[in-house]
Amino acid sequence: MKNLFSRRSVRKPVIAGLAVAALATMVLGLTGVSPSFATDETNLLPGASVKNSAGLMGIVGENFDNGAWVYSGPAVDEEVTGEDADCSEYWNVVVILCDPSPTTGSRGVLTQFSSDTGLTWEMNGQNSVGFVVLDLGQESTFSSLEVYQMKGSDGQTTRAQLFVSSADSETWPTQSDGSWTSVASGPVADGPAQTGTGPVTNTAVTTYDFAATTGRYVMLYSENDGSLDEDDWIETAGAKLFGFVGAGPVPTVEPTVEPTVVPTVVPTVVPTVVSTLGFDLGFAVGDVVGGSEITVSGAGLLPDSAYDLVVRSTPVTIAFGSANSSGAFSGAGVMPAGLAAGVHTVTLSGVAADGTAITRVAYFTVSASGTVTYLSFDAAEALASTGFAGAPIGLAALLLLAVGGALVIRRRQVAH
């Protein structure tokens, strides 16, 4: 058990260990014939770096607090590369850069120096989400993420999500800067315990395959909802991101020769799929908005596609996940405390069955005391109302944005 009040000073005795990994595989977004490449993909994370700064590692929705939310990591504002990472560190976020021998670059298997080496975040209540931003060093192309379950310590990860940023400069994008796009998400399997007396071999891996994506900066979300045995900390043994530095090789599709068959054309009726997003606000005009719970749901969406719930003006993601194989999901998020007085929105985003993006938005204003003074689900009404007359140009454009799909929203009584 870790000491909550002296995280950086506590170290457990060194236990030697090793890893052999491969368990639940989740395929997100790849269908049909897979292209073959002339060059093998490699794990890009040992060539990446992390930085212990505000917005680059911590807990979603919580203040940085000088890096207090990570159990152990670099000094504040220090950047660590994979070359400099100490892969024997207990509960240290820099271990995400590690892929030790003898399984370096191997798929489905991770070597750990002990059962306690891995990434660890403190939890602020159940469903806390830890995050870390990684700089791959240059534009890279990747299509497969492996997440290794922590087995043997006193924390685990039940859900993971990978994002890629559109930023490509030397300035690191922060967790809430709006440049991120989700490329993979889903549950993390429990899996078998590590084997060996040290180093240990970890076979508890969940694999997320997705369409090839290019970017320099990536961000990993890790959540512990308490559904597995260990629910005291958010802990991940490690991760691997397979791809190429640069744009990657041009895929070559192996041709197949099949006999020509003249098909019989039979008229078919294609049913219309209605994609819906909905949320049930936990607040109304006159209520204190901080701490209110919002429940979300969706139906008729693209199977296994990602969704998220974001509060703005300063973007804060309060819920995320993915639809099931039938294109449906349900979830919940908690409104952050301390929203500034003024105009805000809460936006639920998802992917319709035809692959197009859809969103649902609630518009509200908050007083200096933190209570809701205006609430609407109608963009035109919100733009025309007195409460939104002073909205900045960017928000006015957001309010005028036309979105497709059916709107499904349940709400409490709202006074206008």
pLDDT tens by residue, 249-260: 545 556 666 666
| Banded model confidence at residue 383, pLDDT cuts 50, 70, 90 | confident
Please report where in the chains the tokens 């802990």 appear, as a residue.
235
Domain range summary for the chain, segments of one domain joined by +: 24-245, 276-407
**CATH topology identical between 24-245 and 276-407:** no
pLDDT tens by residue, 185-225: 999 999 888 777 678 899 999 999 999 999 999 999 999 98
- The topology (CATH level 3) of 276-407 is Immunoglobulin-like (2.60.40)
CB 143 within 8 A of CB 210: yes
Write down the pTM of the prediction.
0.55
CB 23 within 8 A of CB 192: yes
User: Range with the lowest mean pLDDT among 23-37, 73-87, 290-304, 339-353?
Assistant: 23-37
pLDDT at 88 over 70: yes
CATH number belonging to domain 24-245: 2.60.120.260
pLDDT at 27 over 70: no
Share of the chain above pLDDT 70, in %: 76
CB 15 within 8 A of CB 198: yes
pLDDT tens by residue, 272-285: 678 888 888 888 99
pLDDT at 7 over 90: no
Longest dimension (CA), the chain: 73
CB 52 within 8 A of CB 76: yes
Instruction: Name residue 126's amino acid.
Output: Q
pLDDT tens by residue, 145-175: 999 999 878 889 999 999 999 999 999 999 9
